[in-house]
Chains A and B, each alone.
Chain A
Amino acid sequence: SQQGEEDPQALSIQEGENATMNCSYKTSINNLQWYRQNSGRGLVHLILIRSNEREKHSGRLRVTLDTSKKSSSLLITASRAADTASYFCATAAQGAQKLVFGQGTRLTINP
């Protein structure tokens, strides 16, 4: 399986600090996506980064992709209480018809 694996499994920081989550995967991919899930809700798409891209930004979010290390990171800057959620990476292997999701990082922002 080329399932993404997030690290750490849980992260607790103070409001205003930066949060970094990592995702590793096993096989060559077409793209890697990050999603957020608030408790008891569906997932919300955050960013899609393609295999030929190294970095993407969206507001306070920064995603990097290192295909040589088969890893990606999601950085949330100046965190807010509303950022408290679980964050998942999902990978689409080359030639595959589906996304494969990791187990997620549970992020808690303390006021």
Chain B
Amino acid sequence: DGGITQSPKYLFRKEGQNVTLSCEQNLNHDAMYWYRQDPGQGLRLIYYSQIVNDFQKGDIAEGYSVSREKKESFPLTVTSAQKNPTAFYLCASSVTGGGNQPQHFGDGTRLSIL
């Protein structure tokens, strides 16, 4: 079955630590996205990538970094510069970028501070 796999499901971060969230897709989609969701809120875009080896900042990129070395993979690093990282992180993909295609989502990673 094609889909998006996010891991781990739960992640805890210590002060001053960088953590990396994994996102893998086998849908052969060109575009991938990272969103942050706070309790009772909608999704805010962190980073997106429309093609391998290229990515753009979203609305709340500060304190986060990404890479897109392979079409299937779009890992997100939450750095120590992100002072309020506790949230639900969602990865998504679409056939192409540009907002004109449905997005397929993984089941998220819940990040908490220790």
Within 8 A of A (CB), among B87-113: 90, 92, 97-100, 102-108, 110
Q: Looking at the complex, which of A14-22, A42-50, A71-79 is the stretch in contact with chain B?
A: A42-50
Chain A residues lying within 8 Å of B74, measured Cβ to Cβ, are none
When the two chains form the complex, which single residue of A40, A97, A99, A106 contacts B103, counting CB atoms closer than 8 Å? A99
A99's nearest neighbour on chain B, judged by CB, is B99
Q: Mark A6-45, 1 if CB is under 8 A from B, else 0.
A: 0000000000000000000000001101000000111111
A69 at the interface (CB under 8 A from B): no
Q: Indicate if B43 sits at the interface (CB-CB under 8 A).
A: yes
Tell me whether A102 and B104 are in contact in the complex, defined as CB-CB below 8 angstroms, given that A42-B90, A97-B98, A97-B99 are known contacts: no
Measured between C-beta atoms, what is the minimum distance from B108 to chain A in Å?
6
Chain B interface, number of residues (Cβ within 8 angstroms): 28
Query: Size class of A's contact patch?
Result: 20 to 34
- Supposing A98-B45, A98-B58, A102-B42 touch, asked if A42 and B99 sit within 8 A by C-beta, the answer is no
**In the complex, which residues of chain A have a beta carbon less than 8 angstroms from the beta carbon of B58?**
98
Name B9's closest neighbour in chain A (CB-CB).
A40
Q: Which chain B residues lie closer than 8 Å to A99 at the CB level?
A: 45, 99, 103
Chain B, residue nearest A10 (CB): B40
- A residues apposed to B, CB below 8 Å: 3, 30-31, 33, 40-45, 48, 88, 92-93, 96-104, 106
Q: Which B residues are within 8 Å of any A CB, using their own CB?
A: 4, 6, 33, 35, 40-45, 48, 50, 56, 58, 90, 92, 97-100, 102-108, 110
Q: A43-B43, A104-B41 are in contact. List 17 more A-B contacts (CB 8 A).
A: A40-B110, A42-B90, A42-B92, A43-B103, A43-B105, A44-B105, A45-B102, A88-B42, A92-B99, A96-B98, A97-B48, A98-B45, A98-B58, A98-B97, A98-B99, A101-B43, A102-B42
